[in-house]
Amino acid sequence: MAAEPLPADVAALHYRIRQMEHQIEEYEDTLGAIRRGEIDAVVVSDSAGENRIYTLESADRPYRVLVEQMQEGAVTLREDGTVLYCNRRLAGMLGIAHERIVGQTLQQFLLPDHIADFDKLLNEAKRAAARSELTFLAASGAEIPVYVSLSVLHDDDLTLMCGVLTDLTEQKTHLAEVADANARLLNEIAERERAEDALRQAQKMEAIGQLTGGIAHDFNNMLQGITAGITLAHQRMIAGRTEKAAALLDAALNAANRAATLTQRLLGFGRRQALDPKLVVLDDLIGGMHGLIQQTVGPTVRLDLRLQDRSWPVRCDPNQLENALLNLVINARDALPAGGGVIGIATAHAALDPADTANWEGAAPGEYVRITVSDDGTGMPPDVIAHAFEPFFTTKPDGQGTGLGLSQIYGFVRQSHGMVKLDSVLGAGTSVHLYLPRAKAQLGDQDADEAPESGPAPVRTAGPVTVLLVEDEPTIRGLAAEALRELGYRIIEAVDGPAGLKALQQAVRPPAPARINLLVTDVGLPGGLNGRQLADAARSLAPHLPILLITGYGGDVITGQDLLGPEMAILSKPFTLEALARKVQGMIDHAKVK
């Protein structure tokens, strides 16, 4: 039979049959698979054409296992909180059998105080997922902190609440441990701060001990100087050798000046001292202090002064500079062996360029005058040098140094825009260099207030002013006279009332009256004429003579200015020489104005 070509519709039919065979094969496969249970889910279209997926139990299992075994409690709730489903973890968390939870409201297992919060959360969850921390009560009575996350599950007509509950006990325990550790740490810090406070207090007490010990020692030395000078002077005066007595009294005065310097230092340490900078020529200042320095260091020490011939002027507080020099000299002396040695004091001009100051903290290039105080004593090891400028640091035996000297010098020099440098070699000696900036002004430029300070004490150019000093106590008279002479006054001394009156009469007697500008008299005088009577007599001789009465009796004997009369003043013992000087100057100035 010959093969005829198939008409087109036959070919189409063949294709169609093949397609249908495939489809039937597919359906048979599907039916077979369903029969054999080789599938997990069947897709079914409902009357509205919506797909639903019917899951076989075996397919659900992993989710079931997931929900049952996960570490969080899981529940589904009705809108009122009734538990429809709860997983094993929640049952375990609460320690309550699973079947005793389902069908109850979840509220029943909450701490009563938290029920209202839960109801609120439930309401919020109907709008959007809501979360909160609530406390549940376990069967054991234990309170369990739980983080509750609620959301609404819409499944067709059924509205379910779905909750995930995380037990926070472990986390809280951990937090509590952290808090505990933190509290312990804070305790330790507080403990340590207490210990540090105690240590600081102890250090402070030690420092104060050093300070007071040092002061007591220094004062004792100075008192020794004063007492010895006065005693010797007294003996010589008794022996009639008065010309030697003056030098001894000078020594006593120097010791007293040093005591005053120490009190200045203490005041300076208490707060930053107000400096009174003036133009100072260092060579003149040091030259003027030579005697004082030699007395301070004692006869076994040789002073080697190497001064410039008229050094550049510097601007600083001359009193502070004197203090600084004395301090350095005392340090140098203490570094020398008992047998003595050499202390050098030198001045030099020093022009520092940037290369000189590059590695020198706080130093600025420029022109300086350098003062060097050096000794050939014990020197300092590096660890001592490192602390040398610290307040209260001292290497002197307990109670013998204040530990203030160098720190104060450092403070003063820095305040004066200068630098301090310390060179020391153990066993070979120490040099301390003070660099003070050269003053811009020349000596000729200064105004009247800026007279260059060139002596150890401020010298007042008082003109020819004469003071009659009547005092029976020779130490007081000598010291007072010395102090007033230092201020430039001419002093006539008298030992009792009659002697004073005699001096007054001589002064007013023509033809060459040696004018007396001020009478300073003790009130309690021997010789039948006391200070008050002397004052009256003086007024009759010179009606406008200013009179300063000195009394050891306080204010009771002569009370009130009205009883004193014009141009009269009173000064109570004990008084400082400065107070005396101020009073005397004040009265003379007042009289001059008149």
Binding site for other proteins (CB under 8 A): 19, 22, 25-26, 29-30, 33-34, 38-43, 45, 51-53, 55, 58-63
Q: Please name the residues in contact with 148: beta carbons below 8 A apart, sequence gap of 6 or more.
A: 118, 121, 131, 132, 133, 134, 163, 164, 165, 166
Residue 365, CA distances (Å) to 131, 172, 279, 414 in order:
71, 65, 21, 14
d(CA 165, CA 159): 20
CA dist 101 and 111 (Å) reads 15
**Residue 39 vs 205, nearer CB to other proteins:** 39
CB of 192 to other proteins, least distance (A): 58
C-beta of 22 vs 174, nearer to other proteins: 22
By three-state DSSP, how is residue 130 classified?
Answer: strand
For residues 252 and 230, the answer to whether their CB atoms sit within 8 Å is: yes
Q: How far is the CB of 16 from other proteins (least distance, A)?
A: 12
Strand pairing of 130-137 and 143-155? Answer: antiparallel
**Residue 193 dihedral angles phi and psi, to the nearest 5°:** -65, -40
**Residue with Cβ nearer other proteins (40 or 423):** 40
Question: Closest approach of Cβ 45 to other proteins, in Å?
Answer: 7
Residue 160 Cβ vs other proteins, minimum distance, rounded to whole Å: 17
Kindly give the pairing relationship between strand 547-551 and strand 568-572. Answer: parallel
For residue 413, give the nearest of 359, 374, 362, 477 by alpha carbon.
362
Rounded to a whole number of angstroms, the minimum distance from the CB of residue 146 to other proteins is 29
Q: Nearest distance from residue 43's CB to other proteins, in Å? A: 4
- In whole angstroms, the minimum distance from the beta carbon of 24 to other proteins comes to 13
Comparing CB distances to other proteins, the nearer of 39 and 579 is 39
> Which pair of structure tokens corresponds to residue 14?
């063949």
* Sheet containing 366-375: order of strands: 301-306, 341-352, 366-375, 429-437, 419-425
Apex CA 364: angle with CA 361 and CA 368, to 5°? 120
Strand segments (E) across 438-542: 466-470, 490-494, 518-522
In the complex with other proteins, which residue's Cβ is closer, 58 or 561?
58
105, 82 contact by CB (below 8 A): yes
Query: Which residue's CB is nearer to other proteins, number 60 or number 143?
Result: 60
- The CB-of-64 to other proteins minimum distance in angstroms stands at 11
SS3 578: helix
User: Inter-axis angle of helices 474-486 and 577-593, to 10 degrees?
Assistant: 60
Least distance between other proteins and beta carbon 51 (Å): 5
| Closer Cβ to other proteins, 56 or 181, answer by number | 56
- Which residues are CB-neighbours of 147 under 8 A, at least 6 positions away? 131, 132, 133, 165, 166, 168
Q: Is the Cβ of residue 53 or residue 176 nearer to other proteins in the bound state?
A: 53
Beta carbon of residue 89, minimum distance to other proteins (angstroms, whole number): 20
CA 452 to CA 168: how far, in whole Å?
84
DSSP notation for 101-120: TTTSBGGGGB-GGGHHHHHH
Query: Positive or negative, the Cα torsion across 354, 357, 362, 363?
Result: negative
In the bound state with other proteins, the residue whose beta carbon lies nearer, of 22 and 414, is: 22
CB of 19 to other proteins, least distance (A): 7
Residues 6+ apart with CB under 8 A from 339: 300
Query: In whole angstroms, how close is the CB of 29 to other proteins at the nearest point?
Result: 6
Q: How far is the CB of 37 from other proteins (least distance, A)?
A: 10
* Shortest spacing between CB 168 and other proteins, in angstroms: 30
Expressed in angstroms, the distance from the first to the final Cα of the chain is 170
Q: Which is nearer to other proteins, 40 or 450 (CB)?
A: 40
Name the residue with tokens 């075996």: 58
- Distance in Å, CB of 134 to other proteins, minimum: 32
Pairing mode, strands 466-470 and 490-494: parallel
Give whichever of 34 and 176 is closer to other proteins, judged by the CB atom: 34
The residue among 52 and 414 lying less far from other proteins, judged by its C-beta, is 52
Please tell me what DSSP assigns to residue 56.
Answer: P
Closest CA to 364 of 299, 436, 433, 305: 436
Give whichever of 155 and 556 is closer to other proteins, judged by the CB atom.
Answer: 155
Q: Which is nearer to other proteins, 59 or 579 (CB)?
A: 59
Which CB atom, from 25 or from 356, has the smaller least distance to other proteins? Answer: 25
Give helix 169-238 / helix 242-270 axis angle, nearest 10°.
170
With residues binned 3-state (H G I as helix, E B as strand, rest as coil), the percentages for the chain, rounded to 5, are 50, 20, 30
